[in-house]
Structure 1
Amino acid sequence: MSAPTTTIPAARRRPLGAVLRRPSSAVAFAFLVLLVGSAIAAPVIAPHDPDAQELGNRFAGVSLTHLAGADEFGRDVLSRLLYAARIAVTAPLISVGVAVLIGLPTGLWAGRRRGIVDAVSGRLADTLLSLPALASALAIVAVLGPGLTNAMVAVGIIFSPTVFRVVRGATLSVAEETFVESATAIGCSTRRTLWVHILPNIAAPLLVQVTILMGVALLAEASLSFIGLGVQPPEASWGSMLGAAYRNQYDAPYAVVPPGIALVLTVLTFNTLGDALRDVLAGRRAS
């Protein structure tokens, strides 16, 4: 008699495929691909120069020349939306990258070594988490100066305690597993144990947290650009476009619609993918 075969659920074999089989996450992924493609191809597909001013067309409505209208300087809104998509893609990557760069190694080390390292880093994380996030980011930007990179570095510093907590908690759980104890028993160094044995096994919760933080980072960038501390003129950002629309709401009451819809859809995309990834990975652990 042949040995019985074990069927591995598809969610365990291909987590990305399991995520994309959900209609909502498939639509979200398609929108994300479209967003990245539009950001890359903006110089080719944008109908106008995003910084070209035509003062005679101030607050022009939707037309064949300006498919999404024109702003207070007569600049084409659609072209600025397409170029601002670059900010929507790069800004979260910068901030979340800084957060992971700070929170991942400290969380791994604190969860594995514990002791004084865990106590000090934990108190620092609690202190940062107790402060209002936007106010803390404003204080950091005030020191570093306005600009997209400085603003996103500030947001990344504010996000780092969240990454630290997630990584530390997952590390504490994985560190009790037998394979980690075996690696220590055969003489593996702490560094090798952390990066070779523990990190691959905490990648799932870390990836979910990163996906969720991408949407929050985009909102943070829009908030800072809205008040003039993020992207600087004449560069376009959805947040700065919303700020301009707010200042001219009586002259162009519908100017908030294009950047507002783009911002909402992108944040929903990140959240939808994060929720789907969390559910799929939770199902893998349960099975």
Structure 2
Amino acid sequence: MTTATISPATRTSPRSRVVKNVLRRPSAATAAGFLVVLVLFAVAGPLISPHDPDAQDLGNRFAELSGTHLLGTDEFGRDVASRIIQASRIALVAPLISVGVALLIGLPFGLWAGLRRGVVDAVAGRLADTVLSLPAMVGALAILAVLGPGLVNAMVAIGIIFAPGLFRVVRGATLAVAEETFVHSAVAIGSPTRRTLWVHILPNIAAPLLVQVTILMGVALLAEASLSFIGLGVQPPDASWGSMLKAAYTNQFDAPYSVVPPGIAMVLTVLAFNTIGDAIRDAVGLRRGI
């Protein structure tokens, strides 16, 4: 009698296979590498910045690209490259705050409404429809009128606007998973609702949830830049790609190319988030044979 051996490929979990399928795509691997570099900039920014991002040199305003100032200087003589690196922290923290608020609101209500339905589903669904019927930025501005300007307040407002859409995604995925046999079996043996939601349903809706989260990360970055552009997001002297775009717009005749560095940084970051989201969607479809 021979003993069958299990190959390493057989022992890998479904999540590991999804990750491998994502990273196997050159575009997704490049996007992941870019985000890793962005995280390094955000964490080690003070150590790798060539200059103090807040140090002003009014005698060296709008300096051109050089060995001293790799991307030139702004209207206050501050080093643009250093401010781009400093703003990378905002580019990661701001989406995390807004998406975190959206998950805190939309995830538990979506899970409960998809499994138990009833009053929670009816009330939460109508509230979601009401918020989704409003223009997103108008709703965010209305919330900011109550909370006041600032990065955290702006991202909380954006997170509240994101919550109904996330609720809809989670509810729809939960409705599909709730009809599976293993969920009915868990309910039949007396599994508490909380355990059914977090142990049996949540891991099986992780794929569409991750896709939605990556998309919202990119949208949140654009929303933060928009609010900072009009002065309701990051406040001076902190650097944000949105506030840098505002300064470039104001000084477009003195430094016509100053819009390029923050613009490229923002485009690449949003593209990286969206590319990873598309790769996750395709990898999950490949695993399921879709």
**Normalised TM-score (structure 2):** 0.95
Residues 1:230 and 2:226 are matched in the alignment:
no
1:54 equivalent in structure 2: 57
Contact 1:151–1:229 under 8 Å retained in 2: yes
Letter in 2 for 1:248: N
Q: Distance in 1 between matches of 2:212 and 2:258?
A: 33
Within the candidate set 244, 267, 275, 1:272 is matched to 275
Tell me, which stretches of 5 or more residues in structure 2 are unaligned? none
> Equivalent residue for 1:173?
176
Number of the residue aligned with 1:241: 244
* TM superposition shift of 1:97: 0.4
Which residue does 2:38 correspond to in 1? 35
Q: Deviation of residue 8 (structure 1)? A: 5.6
- Give the structure 2 partner of residue 219 of structure 1: 222
The CA deviation at 1:141 is 1.0
Whichever residue aligns with residue 24 of structure 1, its letter is S
d(CA) in 2 for partners of 1:82, 1:5: 47
- Distance in 2, Cα, partners of 1:223 & 1:22: 32
The separation in 2 between residues aligned to 1:157 and 1:286, in whole angstroms, is: 35
Q: Confirm whether residue 127 of structure 1 aligns to residue 130 of structure 2.
A: yes
Partners of 1:230 and 1:199 lie apart in 2 by 33
Contact 1:70 1:76 in 2 (8 A): yes
With structure 1 as the length reference, what TM-score do the two structures score? 0.96
| Corresponding letter in the other structure for 2:140 | A
Deviations 1:171-213 (A, max 9, x none): 1011111111111111111111111111111111101110111
CA shift digits 1:95-129 (9 cap, x unpaired): 00000000000001111111111111001001111
Determine helix, strand or coil for the equivalent of 2:279: helix
Q: Does 1:140 align with 2:131?
A: no
Aligned length: 287
1:196 matched to 2:199:
yes
Give how far 1:271 is off.
Answer: 0.3
Q: Percent identity?
A: 74
Give structure 1 stretches of 5+ with no counterpart.
none
Residue 286 of structure 1 and its aligned partner are, at CA, apart by 2.0
* Cα drift, residue 73 of structure 1: 0.5
For residue 160 of structure 1, what is the amino acid of its counterpart?
Answer: A
In structure 1, distance between residues paired with 2:287 and 2:36: 26
Residue 51 (structure 1) shift: 0.7
What is the one-letter code of the residue matched to 2:96? L
Detail structure 1 runs of 4+ shifted over 4 Å in the superposition.
Answer: 1-13
| Greater mean deviation of Cα atoms: 185-194 or 238-247 | 185-194
C-alpha contact (below 8 Å) 1:11/1:283 kept by paired residues: no
Shifted more, 206-215 versus 13-22: the winner is 13-22
Match of 2:86 in 1: 83
What is aligned with 1:118? 121
**Is 2:190 aligned against 1:187?**
yes
Deviations 1:195-239 (A, max 9, x none): 111111111110111011100100000000011000000000000
1:253 to 253, 256, 270: 256
Q: CA deviation at 1:282?
A: 1.3
Q: Which moved more, 1:227-236 or 1:182-191?
A: 182-191
The residue number in structure 1 matching 2:106 is: 103
Instruction: Give the whole-Å Cα distance in 2 for the aligned partners of 1:188 and 1:251.
Output: 67
CA 1:11/1:266 → structure 2, altered by over 3 Å: closer, same or farther?
farther
CA RMSD, aligned part only?
A: 1.8
- 2:282 and 2:124 mapped to 1: Cα distance? 30
Query: CA–CA distance in 2 between the matches of 1:20 and 1:243?
Result: 36
Instruction: Give the aligned partner of residue 69 of structure 2.
Output: 66
